[in-house]
Amino acid sequence: MDMTVPATDVKPGLPRDEWVKTLPQTIVASCVLLLDSEDRILLLRYAGDQPGAGLWGLPGGMLDHGENPVGAARREMCEETGIVLDSTLRFVGYDHRADVKGTGPVIDFYFHGGRLAPGQTVRRSSEHDQDGLFALADLGSTPLTIPLPALTALHTAALTGTVVCLQEGVPQ
């Protein structure tokens, strides 16, 4: 015989649409590691009128509504560099950051976009004022949007076919 008594002071659950509104809103972005034949990384410097002015970072940006991370990586690469990525992008890592500049949580997806073709030119967007190919060893004093240990871990993942999990830019 069941002797349990239903609780009378429990509030009924929220309807799903109301409950969903209580969840944290997360910004999602995609970035691309594009390497040259010497394993140098293509980086772009943000122009003076942009958030992050003077900082160097990977091509990438936020997903548009309804866009998936791979599609965003391809779109951002083309918009920011003029380079169309025809090959399959390989997932190499993600970074979860709890709060970015007061906007709340951000999840960055990172993809290896393959090798830069010899003689390939970069056609920068107005967001950036410089581009360059950098060896990790030459980035020690370069102001970066992503911490150097994270960039190093992503570079290794791109070269070895592995995946790296980052939290706040720190390999886990």
Fold of 23-171: Nucleoside Triphosphate Pyrophosphohydrolase (3.90.79)
With a cut of 60, say whether residue 154 has pLDDT above it.
yes
Q: What value does the mean pLDDT take over residues 40-53? A: 95
- Give the pLDDT band of residue 16 (cuts 50, 70, 90): confident
What pLDDT sits at residue 78? 97
What pLDDT sits at residue 44? 98
Q: Please indicate whether residue 82 or residue 14 has the higher confidence score (pLDDT).
A: 82
With a cut of 90, say whether residue 87 has pLDDT above it.
no
pTM score of the predicted model: 0.87
What pLDDT sits at residue 46? 97
CA 112 – CA 91 distance, rounded (Å): 6
- Domain residue extents for the chain: 23-171
With a cut of 90, say whether residue 104 has pLDDT above it.
no
Q: How far is CA 156 from CA 81, 97, 119, in A?
A: 23, 21, 24
With a cut of 60, say whether residue 86 has pLDDT above it.
yes
CA 98 – CA 100 distance, rounded (Å): 7
- Token pair of 83, please? 């380079």
Arithmetic mean of pLDDT over the chain: 91
